[in-house]
Amino acid sequence: MDYVRESSAWVANRSSHVVVDSAGIEKVVDTIESIPKVEWDFEGIHYFDNGPLTVQYLFVLDALNFCFWPDKDLSYDHLASGLKAALQNDKSAFDADRLQKYTGPQLRELLGWPRPLPLEDERVRLLHEVGFELERSFEGKASNIVESCGKSAQNLVALVARHFPGFRDHSVYKGRQVFLYKRAQIFAADLWGAFQGQGYGEFQDISSITIMADYIVPAVLQQLGVLKYSPKLAKTIEGSEEIGPGTEEEVELRACSVHAVEKMRELISVKSGRPVLSVELDLWLWASGVQCSSLQHHKTLSIYY
């Protein structure tokens, strides 16, 4: 994850449209006595049986965990709870051979969703990719990926990115490659949260995980005064205009969020006298954002978040 931190810092130091406000970070940190603990499954929407099937569920969930906003009624909750219900109804729903055969309408039926999903063809393609590579390299089981990583979140992210192209969340910014790995990292974070740091969720280096740069966290950071937008970018977001994937604005929104939260984490750790995990900050910021109905986030059609 050093690549994520280093390339995000590189972007933040050269950013034209997004500024990480050091005074804003200090102001926010001064108001925080401690990071509010947010339970991983605080809404009860996820499948959990404390075994390999939960790992399979989480990997399928995180393969599909992107781009809800084009459908105003669709949210992450629908995806998580829909997949949970599908698995409760049929324990073989996410078997590797079946993942390779789903069609768009079948995926909708699986989720109980009445109309085409945003980027539906991409979602189906990624399901096929996951099923194929799980069958080819991991005996069909996502749990075998986890067991191959040696209790290292960094190794897990690297394994997932190496074997599954749909998780390779890279961009090029001003001639330099930027690494963000939102969905690969959230798989590690979900395992850690679901299994409470034990069993399949035991990672000796969970502190290596950064935040998962998405739509919600930048908007929350901007609302807190940690991020400042240029007038042009602010107008684009307020007007609900699309921002192209890989554009300077889009990369800056995500990379500056990573860098800002790393700075927040460092200050909070010093203030509290104990290490603070970026994954804890991410869950707190994300939970705050999804509960704020007036939050305006940027709009980008992307398979990465």
Q: What's the pLDDT score for residue 298?
A: 97
Instruction: In whole angstroms, give the CA distance from residue 32 to residue 14.
Output: 29
Among positive and negative, which fits the CA dihedral 290, 39, 227, 271? Answer: positive
- For the cut 80, the answer to whether the pLDDT of residue 39 exceeds it is yes
Output the CA–CA distances (angstroms, integers) from residue 183 to 85, 179, 196, in the order listed.
22, 12, 19
Q: Which residues contact 73 (CB under 8 A, 6 or more apart)?
A: none
User: Where are the domains positioned within the chain?
Assistant: 2-290
Angle (CA) 55-285-14 rounded to 5° is 105
Mean predicted confidence (pLDDT) in 232-249: 98
Query: pTM (2 decimals)?
Result: 0.95
Average of per-residue pLDDT values in the chain: 96
Q: Which of 9-13, 33-37, 176-180, 284-288 has the lowest mean pLDDT?
A: 33-37
pLDDT in tens, 100-151: 999 999 999 999 999 999 999 999 999 999 999 999 999 999 999 999 999 9
Catalytic residue set: 214
- For the cut 90, the answer to whether the pLDDT of residue 36 exceeds it is no
Above pLDDT 70, what percent of the chain?
Answer: 100
Top pLDDT among 38 and 229 is at 229
Q: What's the pLDDT score for residue 1?
A: 86
Q: What's the pLDDT score for residue 37?
A: 80
Q: What's the pLDDT score for residue 38?
A: 79
Q: 152: closest CA among 73, 106, 209?
A: 209
Burial 138-147 (b: 16+ CB within 10 A, else e): bebbbbebbe
Is residue 42 very low, low, confident or very high in pLDDT (cuts 50, 70, 90)?
confident
Is residue 212 very low, low, confident or very high in pLDDT (cuts 50, 70, 90)?
very high
Q: What's the pLDDT score for residue 164?
A: 98
Strands 227-229 and 18-20: antiparallel
Beta partners for residue 299, in sequence order: 242
Identify residue 27 by its one-letter amino acid code: K
* Token code pair at residue 164: 């599954």
Among positive and negative, which fits the CA dihedral 120, 78, 168, 92? Answer: negative
What's the distance, CA 197 to chain centroid?
Answer: 18
- For the cut 90, the answer to whether the pLDDT of residue 201 exceeds it is yes
Instruction: In whole angstroms, give the CA distance from residue 54 to residue 200.
Output: 9
Is residue 43 very low, low, confident or very high in pLDDT (cuts 50, 70, 90)?
confident
Q: Which residues contact 150 (CB under 8 A, 6 or more apart)?
A: none
Is residue 33 very low, low, confident or very high in pLDDT (cuts 50, 70, 90)?
confident
Instruction: In whole angstroms, give the CA distance from residue 158 to residue 188.
Output: 11
Instruction: In whole angstroms, give the CA distance from residue 117 to residue 149.
Output: 33
